[in-house]
Amino acid sequence: MNNLKNLVFLDIETVSGSPNFESLEPAMQELWEKKSTFLRRDEETPLDKLYFDKAAIYSEFGKIICISVGILYHDKADLLNIRIKAIRANNEKELLEEFVALLHDKMDENKIQLCGHNAKEFDFPYICRRMLINGIPLPPYLQLSGKKPWEIKHLDTMEMWKFGDYKNFTSLALLTEVFNIPSPKDDINGSDVNRVYYHEEGLERIAEYCNRDVLATAQVYLKIQGLEIIQEDHVQFVE
């Protein structure tokens, strides 16, 4: 089993880089039109709707507004606890710098092992790309370019659940249900984040949602490892 003290559970929430298609620079509008060609169901699908609904998925057209981080530790009674912090900001560069500083202060950067759900496909590369776009050097645990798959020690609970199988995407919500883990979802889901952020200025609401995903990921990881989940009174959400 992996060393729990070096594990960092994380989840990110992303939105479109601009509140609407019209506010993009002309060059980016043209590039989005090319990028989104395969997304259109028909020629009548408005570009602005496609942008608002889909741009957050692509690191070139989106931005990170929240990274929630969870770290495990044992208390004096040797019971497993988790401390979770949501780093959120409208300024993406400040958010990413705070994320790097937090892990630098709390852990040995050369031993960190990141863990997320579908994170190898989405969260990890998205963070790397947005750091480079913002001119932030990649810390040791995100220097993934050029490495062979077996050289990257990070974990993905969706990949762990496959056990070598190649079936389709398995959602975090489904795994929490089959493992009888309290649901991570509140009143929103991933498809609501852009709307809640831009139309409702609901960054705090999104941060809470992101925190719950990190907790659920940690619980699923423990279940897959054959361990007991963390009890509610041993979960600490930190400001």
Could you tell me the pTM of the whole model? Answer: 0.93
* Alpha-carbon gap, residue 81 to 94, rounded angstroms: 28
- State how far the Cα of 195 lies from the Cα of 19, in Å rounded to an integer: 9
β-sheet bridge partners, residue 15: 63
pLDDT band at 43 (very low <50, low <70, confident <90, very high): low
% of the chain exceeding 70 in pLDDT: 95
Superfamily name with CATH number, domain 4-17+61-238: Ribonuclease H-like superfamily/Ribonuclease H (3.30.420.10)
pLDDT at 164 over 90: no
Report pLDDT for 184. 57
CB of 187 within 8 A of CB of 200? no
pLDDT tops 60 at residue 2: no
Direct distance between the N- and C-terminal alpha carbons of the chain, in angstroms, rounded to an integer: 30
Cα distance between residue 111 and residue 117, in whole Å:
20
Type of residue numbered 133: I
104 pLDDT exceeds 60? Answer: yes
Domains of the chain by residue range: 4-17+61-238
What's residue 186's pLDDT?
A: 63
pLDDT in tens, 53-74: 999 999 999 999 999 999 999 9
Residue 220: alpha-carbon gap to chain centroid: 15
Torsion of CA 149, 151, 154, 156, to 10 degrees: 30
Other Cβ atoms within 10 Å of 35 Cβ, number: 17
H runs (alpha helix) in the chain = 26-35, 47-54, 92-106, 123-133, 157-162, 172-178, 193-200, 203-224
Q: Does the structure show a pLDDT above 70 at 88? A: yes
CB atoms near residue 74 (< 10 Å): 12
Distant-in-sequence, close-in-space partners of 211: CB < 8 Å, separation ≥ 6:
68, 84, 86, 237
